[in-house]
Amino acid sequence: MTTATTAAPCPLAAAREQSRARYPDEQGFVERDGVRVFWERYGDGDPTVLLLPTWTLVHSRVWKAQIAYLARHFRVVTFDPRGNGRSDRPADASLYAEAEFAADAVAVMDATGTERAVIVAFSRGAQRALLLAAEHPERVLAAAFIGPWFPVSPLRGLRWRIMAQRRLRKLFERRPLLARSWLKFNAAHWRRDYSDFVEWFIRRMFNTPHSTKQIEDAIGWALETDAETLIASAVADGAAPATRRDQLALARRVRCPVLVISGPNDKLTSHADAKALAEAVEGQLLSVAGGAHAPHARKPVPVNLALRELIEHAADSPDGRPARDPTAHRSDGRPRALYISSPIGLGHAQRDVAIARELRALVPDLQIDWLAQHPVTRVLQDEGERIHPASAHLANESRHIESESAEHDLHCFQAWRRMDEILIANFMLFHDVARDGGYNLWIADEGWEIDYYLHEHPNEKRANYAWLTDFVGWLPMPDGGSHEAFLTADYNGEMVGHIARHPEVRDRALFVGNPEDIVGDRLGPQLPLIRDWTERNFDFVGYVSGFDPAQFRDRSALRAELGYADEEQVCIVTVGGSGVGGHLLRRVIEAFPGAKERVPELRMIVVAGPRIDPDSLPHADGLEIRPYVHNLYRHLAACDLGVVQGGLTTAMELAANKRPFLFFPLRHHFEQNYHVAHRLDRYGAGRKMDFDTATPEVIADAIAGEIGREVDYRDVERDGARHAAARLAEMI
């Protein structure tokens, strides 16, 4: 008997992970013979894509690199396998037979109102997909098999066929003398040291270099189940045929369009088996170099594109009308640029607008479309820039960063690693826009996902491409120990390898600053010094502030224009464009009464910015709290003291205007603590503060000691935007 329960639409569902690129629109359970299976639905397009569960070792989050992209174009349904995720974990091994998983798929389709679907299977999921397509052909539009478990090759498929023989299961139950390599695939060893098996299996699953995040994810998912459950799923009486002949016979019953995707370096299932499956079903085979056993996780771009092509082909109506409008951009003859500006803070927006202004001066008929999200779009709108409508579909990076923060604490590197699902979703959106937009130039200001995936797949480059950044090199924090040092070096090593193998991807690599602004650290053991490597691979344009400090020489006139009296001692407190700085704002607000006692002429203005609600901050007599302020740099030029976080842009605006300031780098934020602090030290700018020891009294004393002080900073360049624009104009 099958019953279904459905939860209400839940865009902000209490998800298992905070950093999803897209949350389910609907979720629920189906129940069959007392076993509940959890499902989720994303999007409302047509047709439906059913992402099938694989082996009980992992759950439906294994599809995280596909869901957001496919759900923008189609309707996507996933469900957790019985034995993991939110589905039940029955103890009876018979309840893990392949026929049960196929029946679960039909039940989920019924519960979600899905008459027909394109089914996508991974690894062992191939068996349930074959059953579904063969036994219920009326429900299947097309099928994709990724790293398929289709054991027909004489040698490599032998161990899996042995597993299907009930009379040989005793070998699986008997403890090996030495648990090494495939001898770890053993029930006794799982009971004795389940985590050892998990780590061995997952590392074999992701054997391509620089797969640390995929390994970390999959180990975490595998540890959500246990040895006994996994044993039950492994020894179940499978409907999967136990012989090569029967495997091939089942596959030949599949009559729908089929795509098989495999990594030649797959160490769990045979690439030869994938070829055999493609031949048996008369389907297409896509080989993904470096994809290993899970190319949809390690190399998601070609997999996502191939899946979309299969789905659109399957969705073609009988009269031949395509499922989507293929009309490409028709050029009006004007040069066009697509500008991607990082949403982490507002500094990128300010400098990018300045560069765009100079670029238009050099190429007057240039049209610039911006692919950006809040809070960057706030600046762009106020500047009258053209924001591409697809920007509305970007997964929110700022929200993720804020969710990773604690009290003035943001582990920037780890937060970025945990943003991988968002980054692939946003790259796929960029890919759609760039493919159909007819652009002459792509500009990415710290659009890390753009740069990463273009180097992973250089064949996807279709226009001149420029990369901008103001720092190079991930650096470990001291308390991260040897593991974090290994991870940062691994990420840096992958970047070095990308540039060495594919120097043609970046037509221009521009460093926003000077060689002396670069820290003296190495990228990692056996890797180059950061400064040496950057000097070899970047052009230096100087700092880009977005304004000329000379226009503020008459500070009295500027202060009068902004409403500040000459006798006032104006202190501007701001933490940039994200919501991470709320704790610092509260600490400084708490220091205000003491600072006012020390500096009677003090006028303190707290700028909440675009992502902090001013009403959420405490108020005090005489204190002014303002929301987002456009062109805040003008107020910083007029102030007598700035109190800021540790971000580069605001600090450099104060440095350019020769204003004293206090800055409080976030704990565990390697860029603020190392890269930014090094640059400010070179300019002789600002007073670095420690949030942990900065009590309100300490802050009040620092305000009194610094406000209005004459400073002697190094001059900040005024022509960085012009230099950057000149280098970009060469490519149009």
Same domain, 310 and 428: no
Same domain, 509 and 556: no
Distances (CA, A) of 708 to 9, 306, 515, 640, 645: 55, 61, 31, 5, 19
Query: Are 219 and 198 in contact, with CB atoms under 8 Å apart?
Result: yes
pLDDT at residue 537 tops 70: yes
pLDDT at residue 546 tops 90: no
Q: Could you tell me whether strands 26-32 and 2-7 are parallel, antiparallel, or unpaired per DSSP bridges?
A: antiparallel
The stretch 460-474 carries a mean pLDDT of 97
Same domain, 307 and 417: no
With respect to residue 216, please indicate whether it lies within any of the assigned structural domains.
Answer: no
Same domain, 449 and 560: no
Question: 184-235: per-residue pLDDT in tens?
Answer: 999 999 999 999 999 999 999 999 999 999 999 999 999 999 999 999 998 8
- The SS3 call for residue 251 is helix
pLDDT at residue 639 tops 90: yes
The stretch 697-714 carries a mean pLDDT of 97
What is the rounded distance in angstroms from the CA atom of residue 170 to the CA atom of residue 179? 16
* Secondary structure (DSSP) of 71-85: HHHSEEEEEPPTTST
Q: Quote the domain boundaries for residue 366.
A: 336-545+722-729
pLDDT band at 177 (very low <50, low <70, confident <90, very high): confident
* Secondary structure (DSSP) of 547-608: S-GGGGS-HHHHHHHHT--TT-EEEEEE--SSSTTHHHHHHHHHHHHHHHHH-TTEEEEEE-
Distances (CA, A) of 544 to 111, 466, 547, 602, 728: 56, 16, 8, 31, 14
Same domain, 532 and 601: no
With respect to residue 234, please indicate whether it lies within any of the assigned structural domains.
Answer: no
Same domain, 521 and 443: yes
With respect to residue 287, please indicate whether it lies within any of the assigned structural domains.
Answer: yes
Within 10 angstroms of residue 207's Cβ, the number of other Cβ atoms is: 17
With respect to residue 482, please indicate whether it lies within any of the assigned structural domains.
Answer: yes
Number of domains in the chain: 3
The rounded percent of the chain whose pLDDT value lies above 70 is: 92
CB-neighbour burial class of residue 93 (10 A; exposed 0-12, middle 13-18, buried 19+): middle
Same domain, 266 and 398: no
Query: Are 356 and 327 in contact, with CB atoms under 8 Å apart?
Result: no
pLDDT band at 19 (very low <50, low <70, confident <90, very high): confident
- In the block, which residue shows the tokens 């020894």? 235
Same domain, 453 and 580: no
User: Residue 37 is part of a domain; what is its CATH number?
Assistant: 3.40.50.1820
Same domain, 441 and 295: no
Shortest CA distance to 354 belongs to which of 657, 653, 634, 724? Answer: 724
pLDDT at residue 316 tops 90: no
Query: Domain boundary at 315, 346, 377, which?
Result: 315
Question: 121-130: per-residue pLDDT in tens?
Answer: 999 999 999 9
User: Residue 629 is part of a domain; what is its CATH number?
Assistant: 3.40.50.2000
Question: 291-305: per-residue pLDDT in tens?
Answer: 999 999 999 999 999
Same domain, 447 and 567: no
What is the rounded distance in angstroms from the CA atom of residue 371 to the CA atom of residue 33? 49
Chain mean pLDDT for the chain: 92
* Residue 568: partners with Cβ closer than 8 Å, 6 or more residues away: 601, 602, 603, 640
The stretch 332-336 carries a mean pLDDT of 89
Question: 100-123: per-residue pLDDT in tens?
Answer: 999 999 999 999 999 999 999 999
Question: Which of the residue ranges 156-165, 331-340, 498-507 would you say has the lowest mean pLDDT?
Answer: 156-165
With respect to residue 212, please indicate whether it lies within any of the assigned structural domains.
Answer: no
pLDDT at residue 160 tops 80: no
- The SS3 call for residue 612 is coil
- In the block, which residue shows the tokens 């479309």? 369
With respect to residue 712, please indicate whether it lies within any of the assigned structural domains.
Answer: no
Quick one: pLDDT at residue 70? 98
Quick one: pLDDT at residue 17? 53
Same domain, 343 and 282: no
pLDDT at residue 370 tops 90: yes
With respect to residue 531, please indicate whether it lies within any of the assigned structural domains.
Answer: yes
Quick one: pLDDT at residue 238? 52
Quick one: pLDDT at residue 611? 87
With respect to residue 71, please indicate whether it lies within any of the assigned structural domains.
Answer: yes
Same domain, 9 and 136: yes
